[in-house]
C-alpha cells in the first residue's frame, strides 16, 4: 500500500500517520515502476495498517478534519485503515452512542465505499476496504439493531480460559516478563479464585504478573513469584485493599 497525501479538488488530505503506518521495503524482484517510487518522496510504501481505537472515538474521527492554519486536511480513521484492519475496542463504551456509529457506517459496510465531505462542501467517494473488528464484553443485541448485526456477519465468542489454558497463559507471561518458571504460582492463584468466587479471565495472567513485576522493581526485590507477592497483586488488582 502506498500512501502519504491525497489531493482532491484542491484539498490536500494527509493520509500517512506514523502511529499506524509502518514502512515496507520494496521487494528485490520488483517492476521498474515500483522501484522508481523509492525516489519519489511523495509516496511511501507501507505494510497493511492496523488501527485500534477505544473509548476515545468520536464522530469527528470518522470525517475529514481541516486545519485552517496549515490548510491541510486529516484523513479519517477508516481511510487510514484501508487495506488493513480497523479494531473498535470496547465497543459500546465510546463517547458516541452505538446508534450514531450504526447510522454513519451502515451503508459503507454494505457497499464497501464511503463518502466524505471536504471543507468546500464537495463529497468524494473512497474505498471502505478493511477488516473491521468490533470487540466488546456487552451483549451485542443490547447495543445495536438486527440491521447492523447483519452487516457484521461473523461473531466469535471468547470464553473464559480453563485451568490448562490459564497455566499456559501464565507461563507465557512469565517468560515475557523475565520471571523464572514457577508452576506452583498457578495453583496458588487457582485457590484464590476458588476462595473469592471470581472467574478466571484471559487478561489476568498478564495484569497480575505485571503488578508483581512492578512491586519487585519498586521494592528492589528479586523478580520471583512468591505467594505473598501474588496475594498483594490480587488485593490491589481486585480492589481488596
* pLDDT single digits (tens) 111-127: 999 999 888 888 899 99
Per-residue pLDDT for 44 more than 90?
A: no
Closest CA to 169 of 203, 121, 129, 120: 203
Mean pLDDT over each residue of the chain, to the nearest integer: 87
Angle at 145 (CA atoms; ends 141, 149), nearest 5 degrees: 75
Average pLDDT on 93-109 reads 86
Q: What are phi and psi of 226, to 5 degrees?
A: -70, 145
Confidence of residue 227 (pLDDT cuts 50, 70, 90): very high
Architecture of domain 5-150: 3-Layer(aba) Sandwich (3.40)
Say whether 6 sits in a helix, a strand or coil: strand
Residues of the chain with CATH 3.40.50: 5-150
% of the chain beyond a pLDDT of 70: 88
DSSP H or E segment with residue 34: helix 32-36
Amino acid at each position: 500500500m502506498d500512501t502519504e497525501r491525497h489531493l482532491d479538488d484542491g484539498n490536500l488530505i494527509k493520509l500517512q500517520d506514523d502511529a499506524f503506518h509502518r514502512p515496507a521495503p520494496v521487494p528485490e524482484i520488483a517492476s521498474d515502476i515500483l522501484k522508481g517510487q523509492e525516489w519519489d518522496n511523495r509516496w511511501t510504501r507501507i505494510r497493511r495498517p492496523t488501527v485500534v481505537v477505544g473509548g476515545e472515538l468520536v464522530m469527528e474521527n470518522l470525517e475529514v478534519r481541516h486545519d485552517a492554519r496549515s490548510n491541510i486536511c486529516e484523513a479519517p480513521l477508516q481511510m487510514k485503515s484501508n487495506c488493513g484492519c480497523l479494531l473498535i475496542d470496547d465497543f459500546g463504551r465510546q463517547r458516541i452512542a452505538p446508534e450514531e456509529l450504526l447510522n454513519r457506517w451502515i451503508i459503507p459496510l454494505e457497499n464497501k465505499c464511503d463518502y466524505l465531505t471536504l471543507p468546500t462542501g464537495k463529497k468524494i467517494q473512497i474505498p471502505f476496504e478493511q477488516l473491521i473488528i468490533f470487540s466488546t464484553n456487552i451483549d451485542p443485541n443490547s447495543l445495536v439493531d438486527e440491521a447492523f448485526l447483519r452487516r457484521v456477519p461473523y461473531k466469535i465468542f471468547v470464553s473464559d480460559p480453563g485451568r490448562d489454558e490459564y497455566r499456559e497463559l501464565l507461563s507465557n507471561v512469565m517468560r515475557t516478563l523475565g520471571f523464572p518458571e514457577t508452576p506452583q504460582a498457578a495453583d496458588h492463584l487457582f485457590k484464590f479464585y476458588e476462595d473469592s468466587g471470581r472467574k478466571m479471565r484471559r487478561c489476568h495472567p498478564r495484569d497480575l504478573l505485571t503488578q508483581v513485576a512492578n512491586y519487585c522493581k519498586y521494592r528492589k526485590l528479586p523478580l520471583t513469584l512468591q505467594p505473598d507477592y501474588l496475594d498483594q497483586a490480587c488485593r490491589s488488582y481486585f480492589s481488596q485493599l
